Structure 1
Amino acid sequence: MTELLLAKAHFPVTTLGPGIRAGIWMQGCTLHCPGCLSRDTWDADPAKAVPVEAVLGWLASLPGPVQGVTISGGEPFQQPAALAELLRGIRTWREESPRETIPLDILVYSGYVYSRLSRSTETREILEMCDAVVAGPYVDRLNPGGRHPQGGSLLWRGSANQRIVPLTPLGQERYGAAAGDMAKEEAGPRVQVSVDEGPEGRRVYYIGIPRRGDMEHLTSTLERAGVRAGGVSWRP
């Protein structure tokens, strides 16, 4: 039984790809991009290990409609065996589920550049199970910032160096020219809020790709309203 280090799973996600999606964040990343908003997923915590079958069971239990699955992290490609098994399971679920209207696509985020991902046999086999990948490290100075007039052109990307690479006809439809047209209509990267109740109390998650400065602006706005954040994932 293959286990996956899981940081979080959430539904619905509406900010990391088109449509209503399931989001899966894997735990563990050694890339440590400066300015990363998900520092809480860097440490590969064995306590967060769950069977891949459990994640697939969660997906199958969702009420729908599920129009896509987005896998991020952490760095998914640093768990290649678990990622491959997860993708195989998602594809089987997709093939066995009746989807009369909108097909489900699989989008994976990686901090590795695409040329590196496509270099080895192991990662090429993983890429063959994806409809698209967003590849490349986050570079803070290439995030245009909230007031930049071209902010909307970074739809689903954190910084301008990152590439959206369609890998299947469905991926091309969702993330190719159509994504370019959609980016022109968007005001910029969006963020959604999720509140989870856990053993350590209430925790607020921001899901999406904010522009540079957005989180500081949000924090200061909340503090002026009397809401003070504790530890946050985007600061050391």
Structure 2
Amino acid sequence: MLLAKAHHPVTTLGHGVRAGVWFQGCTIGCPGCLSRDTWAADSSHSVTVDSVLDWLAGLPPVDGVTLSGGEPFQQPGALRTLLEGIIEWRGPRELDILVYSGYVISRLSRKPESRDILKLCDAVVAGPYVERLSDDSPLRGSSNQQIVPLTPLGQQRYGTVGQETRRIQVCVEDGAEGRRVYYIGIPRRGDMDRLSAVLDGAGVRAGEASWRL
């Protein structure tokens, strides 16, 4: 699979404390997307699904796993294998699987390949991001996107949109090319400019920003 990143703990994008896996590669290209760095299907991001499952297995207990991107459904074989591995790993635990997709739910439900994948998810957030329809939902970027529960656990956790305010995590990662700052969550309008201002005030000079590509 092509992997953009994996992160723990994730305290946004779903119920409780979670693990997050972001697929690399997306051809949908929603205008205003804040994760344009995940669009290119770059082979340098290739990893085995087993390595992601091994990473999950080494984590402390989590409430769920969120899969996003990029576009997970553009790697259907890897997505299905990963979901099957997560289901085996979670066993009887109440650990939900939430998947984000830029495709509308009617399309995902109509195609046999993606319809079978939906059976492995507890809930999906489906539909393209539309910048002018940005709302304050904690789980979706714009009001046209649907939060679709698919199992009893999904219904319990995502059947109603909560009243929580949007939150974003700011994460710092040291790597061979220097320090990287990235966010996890769905920012409100203007949040990223405010974040840049805070970083500048702290003496952190941002380089290339995915939301400005």
Residues 194-236 of structure 1: CA distance to partner in whole angstroms, max 9, x if unpaired? 1111111110110000012110122133334443211101012
In the alignment, structure 1 residue 44 sits paired with structure 2 residue 51: no
Counterpart position of 2:211 = 234
Counterpart position of 2:63 = 67
Residues 161-211 of structure 1: CA distance to partner in whole angstroms, max 9, x if unpaired? 11100000000001003xx3xx22x2x211001111111111011000001
- Deviation (angstroms), 1:160: 0.8
**Residue type of the alignment partner of 2:127:** G
In the alignment, structure 1 residue 26 sits paired with structure 2 residue 3: no
In the alignment, structure 1 residue 193 sits paired with structure 2 residue 193: no
Partner SS state of residue 110, structure 2: coil
**Residue type of the alignment partner of 2:98:** L
Equivalent residue in structure 2 for 1:140, among 131, 137, 158: 131
Equivalent residue in structure 2 for 1:55, among 10, 32, 52: 52
Partner SS state of residue 89, structure 1: helix
Q: Segments of 4+ in structure 1 off by > 6 A?
A: none
Q: Percent identity?
A: 69
How many residues align? The count is: 213
In the alignment, structure 1 residue 121 sits paired with structure 2 residue 112: yes
| Structure 2 CA distance for partners of 1:76 and 1:207, relative to 1, 3 Å | same
Q: Is the 8 A contact 1:117 1:123 kept in 2?
A: yes
Give the Cα separation in 1 of the matches to 2:95 and 2:79: 18
Which runs of 5 or more residues in structure 2 are unaligned? Answer: none
Question: 1:45-194 maps to which residues of 2 (within 5 A)?
Answer: 45-62=42-59, 64-95=60-91, 99=93, 103-144=94-135, 151=136, 154-177=137-160, 180=161, 183-184=162-163, 186=164, 188-194=165-171
Which runs of 5 or more residues in structure 1 are unaligned? Answer: 145-150
Give the Cα separation in 1 of the matches to 2:177 and 2:200: 22
Counterpart position of 1:218 = 195
Give the Cα separation in 1 of the matches to 2:63 and 2:108: 25
For normalisation by structure 1, the TM-score amounts to: 0.87
Residues 44-99 of structure 1: CA distance to partner in whole angstroms, max 9, x if unpaired? 0111111101100000011x22110000000000000000000000001111xx64
Root-mean-square deviation (Å): 1.2
Give the Cα separation in 2 of the matches to 1:227 and 1:208: 21
**Residue type of the alignment partner of 1:175:** Y
Q: Is the 8 A contact 1:140 1:212 kept in 2?
A: no
Give the Cα separation in 2 of the matches to 1:53 and 1:221: 38
